[in-house]
Amino acid sequence: MISVSTAKALVKQHVPLMPAGQVKLEAADGLTLAEDIKAPLALPPFDQSAMDGYAFRFADWNGSPMKIEGEQAAGTAAVNTLVTGTAMRIFTGAALPAGADTVVMQEKTTRDNGLLTITDEQLVEGTNVRKVGSEVDKDVVAIGKGTTLLPAALGLLASMGITEVPVYKRPQVSLLITGNELQTPGIPLVHGQVYESNSYTLRAALQRAGINDINIIPVKDDPDQVESAISSAIGSSDLVLLTGGVSVGDYDYVVGAAGRAGIETIFHKIRQRPGKPLFYGRHSKGIVFGLPGNPGSVLTCFYEYVYPAICAMMGKDFEQPVITAVLQRAYSKPADLTCFVKAGYDGKSGVMPLDAQESFRLRSFAVANALIKLEEGKTEYLAGEQVEVHPIPM
């Protein structure tokens, strides 16, 4: 069995980067740039007024009223030229007339009989003018490779007239749900059956990570069926997640079947709770996680291992932010395991372990917003101690 830190390092070391491709801006939210994007034009593309007011040449203004001549509205293609010594009516976003270099906002003026008096004491040359290229110059890198595209970045790209971007693709995911005892919600249970819930948890968690190409396949606890399900899933997806069947029971076939399907084992079993029997393997076509079937283990392993792996596949430099907070009550754990404890984090300084931590249950997880990482080698944590907190990432 390996430690949590070794397991995390191995996940990172063996994660493949998804191929890059051009994606329409509308579909690029949350994806990561595979190349630098250079500005195809200067932004703003011309000197612009930042205010509704009057444009003039600062050197022409001697404090006396100026004649108002002409008007420049936003979107006007014609280049109006300022008559020397006059001011031109102008609106926010409009191109500065040729010859003007300064704009006074209309609230800081008075207007009488076609004459403009400027009352703005602070005015200097260039006030309220957005200079051409002041946001970004043509041909310089506007957004660098490795940037994850969030709403502002998408807006910036659109403002440069860009319609498609080179990004790392999202992985296609197969969910292989093993277990003869599982029944689909909506169908009455017979004794010994339980409702299948892991696919609901994982589908939602994947969708929140931006992944929608998810194929869910129920698989019987049969070595040949598990093997052929893994073989076909690895051929058609980049990431295969199995749930159940990774422990030591007579019907736990996942690890052996993965080997026969050509998956190289990177690790199996971590000194952690929950999720001790986690399996991680790789193939030239993708990676495989065998998530321990208990619903709480599935989700903990998703947040701690699968989600970082997905980020890395998509070119995101995912590092768990190191947040510490004060433990609000004492907590005991086995010495030989790292424990991930479902918790309520107040977002500032305090974190409260929740009741009912067993991995077969989800009630505490359903209201948790964080996992506390309690290190191996220690059994008793006291109220008031600083502990590492992993906010649930999505």
Q: Where on the chain is the footprint of ligand MOO (CB under 6 A)?
A: 273-276, 292, 294, 297, 359
CB of residue 393 vs ligand LQZAQKY5: minimum separation in angstroms?
A: 22
In whole angstroms, how close is the CB of 343 to ligand MOO at the nearest point?
A: 17
Polymer length in residues for the chain: 394
Least Å distance, CB 232 to ligand MOO, is 27
Nearer to ligand LQZAQKY5, 339 or 352 (CB): 339
How many other β-carbons are positioned within 10 Å of the β-carbon of residue 56? 27
Name which position in 34, 39, 246, 255 contacts ligand LQZAQKY5 (CB under 6 A).
246
Binder among 171, 244, 308, 353 for ligand LQZAQKY5 (CB under 6 A): 244
Cβ closest to ligand LQZAQKY5, residue 345 vs residue 365: 365
State the DSSP string of 204-234: HHHHHTT---EEEEEE-S-HHHHHHHHHHHH
Can you tell me which of 44, 171, 281, 293 binds ligand LQZAQKY5, judged by CB under 6 A?
A: 293
Binding mask 252-281 for ligand LQZAQKY5 (x = CB under 6 A): x---------------------x-xx----
Residues 6+ apart with CB under 8 A from 191: none
* Binds 44: which of ligand LQZAQKY5, ligand MOO, none (CB < 5-8 Å by kind): none
Of residues 102, 237, 243, 328, which one binds ligand LQZAQKY5 by CB under 6 A? 243
Contact 209, 307 (CB under 8 A): yes
DSSP letters for 263-321: PEEEEE-BSEES-TT-EEEEETTEEEEEE-SSHHHHHHHIIIIIHHHHHHHTT------
Contacts of 184 (CB under 8 A, 6+ apart): 195, 196
Task: Pick out residues in 64-103 that bind ligand LQZAQKY5 (CB under 6 A).
Answer: none
Contacts (CB under 6 A) with ligand LQZAQKY5, residues 322-361: 359-360
Question: By CB under 6 A, what part of segment 163-182 binds ligand LQZAQKY5?
Answer: 177, 179, 181-182
Which residues lie across from 34 on neighbouring strands? Answer: none
Q: Does 308 bind ligand LQZAQKY5 (CB under 6 A)?
A: no
CA distances (Å), 255 to each of 14, 231, 282, 298, in order? 18, 13, 12, 16
Q: What is d(CA 276, CA 268) in angstroms, rounded to the nearest whole number?
A: 9
- CA-nearest of 49, 53, 91 to 73 is 91
Q: How many residues bind ligand LQZAQKY5 (CB under 6 A)?
A: 26
Identity of the residue, 87 or 337, whose beta carbon is nearer to ligand MOO in the bound complex? 337
Alpha-carbon span 283 to 265, nearest angstrom:
9
With contacts defined by CB under 6 A, name the span among 48-56, 115-123, 129-137, 195-203 that binds ligand LQZAQKY5: 195-203
Nearer to ligand MOO, 44 or 245 (CB): 245
Identify the residue among 77, 152, 190, 248 touching ligand LQZAQKY5 (CB under 6 A): 248
DSSP string, 22-60: EEEGGG-TT-BBSS-EE-SS-BSSS-EESSSEEEE-GGG
Question: Which spans in 82-216 are helix H?
Answer: 151-159, 198-208
d(CA 34, CA 210): 17
**Residue 318 · residue 312 · CB < 8 Å:** yes
CA–CA separation, 235 and 176 (whole Å): 14
**Segment near ligand LQZAQKY5 (CB under 6 A), from 136-144, 289-297, 321-329, 363-371?**
289-297
Report the interface residues with ligand LQZAQKY5, using CB under 6 A: 177, 179, 181-182, 194, 196-198, 243-249, 252, 274, 276-277, 292-295, 297, 359-360
